[in-house]
Structure 1
C-alpha cells in the first residue's frame, strides 16, 4: 500500500482493510497511522501499530461485531501485529474528551465498545505532522489545528502525574513494578526514553521518537548519563549485548537519570 511501511506491516494492514470492507463496503472512510511507525521508530519486537480509523458515524452493534471478528482474524494470521487504535468520526478529529462521546477502540488484542483511548493532543499532533495516510483525504486536508500552548501544558501535567508516579512505583521495593523494572530491560527503557522524549519536546517544541530523543540527550546531558541512555537505545532497537553486568546498577542508573530529567523538565517552567 505504501513504501513508507515495513513489508510485513504493509501486508497485514492490507489484509485488515480488505477484510473490513468485504462485508461493510466503505465502512472505513479514512485510515491513518501515527506513533512510532509514523515517526520512523518502529521495531517489530516492541512497537505498536497505532491507527486512527474514520467512520461516518459510531459503529452499530453489527459493525462493531464485524470489526471485532476482523481483528481476531488479523491477530490469528499475524500474531505479532500489535495493532492499537481508535474508531472515530470526521467530526471527532482534533477534539478531546470533553468535546465528544466515547468511541470504540482496539488495545492489547481486544476491541472495546466505548472509551477515550489515546485521545490527547499528542495523537492529533503526530497525525498532523507525521501521520501516514492509507485511506481517505490527504492529512493536510483534514484541517487539524493544534493549540501548542495547551499541548505543552498537558505534557507538563503528564510529566508530574504519570511520570512522577512511574518513578515512585519503580523505586519502591515493596511494589511489584519495582521488580519488573529490575528484571525487564523493556520496562527500564520505557521509563528512560519516555521521559527523555518529553524533555526533548519542552526544549524543541516538537515531537520525536523515543530512540531519537535518546540520541538527542546524548548530545546535551552530562556524560554520567550516557551509559543508561546507550543501554536504553540498544534495548529499544533490539540488538547487541547489554552494557551492564549488573541489573541492580542498571536500574539504579535509570531511576537516578529519571530524577535528573524530572527536575530538568520542571526547571523550564515557572
Structure 2
C-alpha cells in the first residue's frame, strides 16, 4: 500500500471511501490503483481528479452498483474536490481493449452501470508504469503486456479526430469552445497542454504529465509559443496572475500554437509511415 505517498487530502478521501466499502462488503474490492495526474506527480487539489481503477474477482452485481452509487454520493457531498473518478473492472479485464466487456464506472458525479470509460492503451500504460497501488499487488507486477505501437496509433487517431475537431470548433468566430478559449484559462490550459502532452508522447515514447510536457515543449518549440505555454503551466500549478494583458491575444496564441503542434505531430506520423 502506498497511501503514504499521497497528499493528506487525497489520502483522507480514499480512506473514507474504503471505510464505506468495508461497511457494505469488505471483500468487494481486491485491487485499487491511482493513475493519471496524481501518479504522474502533477496533480492539483483544485484542477485534478482522483483517477482510480478498482479491481474485483467478478463483475459487480446490480446490488453492488447501487451501493457504490450511494457511497460515491456520500463522498462527493463530503469532499466536493478533488473528485473520485474511476472504473470497476476484474483482474481478467486489465490491459484489454476491443475485447473488453462493458463495466461500471463513476464519472462527473454519476455512477454508470455499464460502459467503456477510459478503456484505452494510455490508461493501461499509466497503470502499469506509474500506478500507485492502494490495495493489491504492485502495478508493475500486473499480468498484462503493453503494446507501444498500438498506443502510438491510437494517439495519431486521437490527433486527427478529437484534437482536430476541438481546434476547428475553437477557431470559429462564435461557438461554445471559441468563447471558452477566449474567457476561460481552464480551456486555454486544456487545449495547449493537452495536445502538447500528446506531442511529447509521440516524440519521446513516454507518458508525461501536462506540466512536464509543457516544460519539455518550451525547450524545443519556437520562442513565440513560450508565453502561452508558460501561461498554461502557471495555471496548472495554481498561479492565478496572467502573463497576458489581452485575452484576445492569448486566444490567438493558443490557437496558433495548437495548429503548430498539430502539424508537428502529423510530420511525426508521416515519418513513422
TM band (smaller chain): over 0.9
Q: Distance in 1 between matches of 2:227 and 2:157?
A: 28
Cα distance in 2 for partners of 1:48, 1:79 equals 10
SS at match of 2:133: strand
Distance 1:232 1:91 in 2: 39
Deviating beyond 3 angstroms after TM superposition, the runs of 4 or more aligned structure 1 residues are: none
Residue 46 of structure 1 deviates from its aligned partner by 0.6
The aligned residue for residue 23 of structure 1 is 24
Q: Which residue of 2 aligns with 1:83?
A: 84
Match of 1:33 in 2: 34
Q: Tell me whether 1:119 sits opposite 2:119 in the alignment.
A: yes
Residue 246, structure 1, aligned to residue 249, structure 2: no
RMSD (CA atoms):
1.0
Of residues 255-264 and 20-29 in structure 1, the stretch that sits farther from structure 2 once superposed is 20-29
- 3-state SS in 2 of match to 1:80: coil
Residue of structure 2 equivalent to 1:52? 53
Question: Shift of residue 85 of structure 1?
Answer: 0.6
* Aligned pairs for 1:1-270 within 5 A: 2-96=3-97, 98-270=98-270
TM-score by length of 1: 0.98
- For residue 240 of structure 1, report the CA deviation from its aligned partner: 4.0
Is the contact made by 1:197 and 1:210 (CA closer than 8 Å) also made in structure 2?
A: yes
Q: CA deviation at 1:144?
A: 2.5
- Residues 130 and 139 of structure 2 are in contact (CA less than 8 Å); yes or no, is this contact kept in structure 1? no
State the Cα distance separating 1:242 from its structure 2 match.
Answer: 0.2
| Deviation at residue 95 of structure 1 after TM alignment | 0.3
Deviations along 1:213-252, one digit per CA (max 9) or x if unpaired, are 0000111111110000010001111114100011111000
On the 8 A contact 2:189/2:232 being kept in 1, the answer is yes
User: How big is each residue's C-alpha offset from its partner over 1:58-104, in whole Å with a ceiling of 9 and x where there is no partner?
Assistant: 211111111111101111111113111100001100001x2121110
SS of 1:3 mapped into structure 2: helix
Separation (CA, whole Å) in 2 of partners of 1:9 and 1:71: 15
Shift of 1:139: 1.5
TM-score (norm 2): 0.96
SS in 2 for 1:36: coil
1:97-122 deviation digits (Å, cap 9, x = unpaired):
x2121110000011001011010000
Q: Aligned with 2:32: secondary structure?
A: strand
Unaligned runs of 5+ in 2: none
Q: For the Cα contact (< 8 Å) 2:56–2:91, is it kept in 1? A: yes
Count matched residues. 269
